[in-house]
Amino acid sequence: MTEHYPPPRDALDAPKSLQEGVGAPTFAAVFMRYQREIQAFLRGMLGAHELAQDLTQDTFSDAWRAGAT
């Protein structure tokens, strides 16, 4: 698995499209594309696998809620 520190620039841009209300299929595609990279980034910063998993889930939950408004 390739780890990126910091995440790739396109990963940082991804939430913008979610805020434009593109819907669940696109959100799922973004999740599948970036979940591992975000989790690896957080695991590298925190040194804790389970905490990185929790924060990754929180990140996507927040992005989903932000896109729904």
Question: Under DSSP, is residue 5 helix (H, G, I), strand (E, B) or coil?
Answer: coil
- Please report which confidence band the pLDDT of residue 8 belongs to, taking 50, 70 and 90 as the band edges: low
Number of H helices and E strands in the chain, helices first, is 3, 0
pLDDT for position 57: 94
Taking alpha carbons only, the member of 57, 68, 61 closest to residue 18 is 68
Render pLDDT for 19-68 as a digit per residue (tens, 0 to 9).
Answer: 555 567 788 888 899 999 999 999 999 999 999 999 999 999 998 888 76
Residue 35: the pLDDT is 94
Q: Which helix (H) or strand (E) holds 58?
A: helix 49-68
Contact 30, 20 (CB under 8 A): no
| Two structure tokens written together for 38 | 């975000």
Q: What is the pLDDT of residue 1?
A: 46
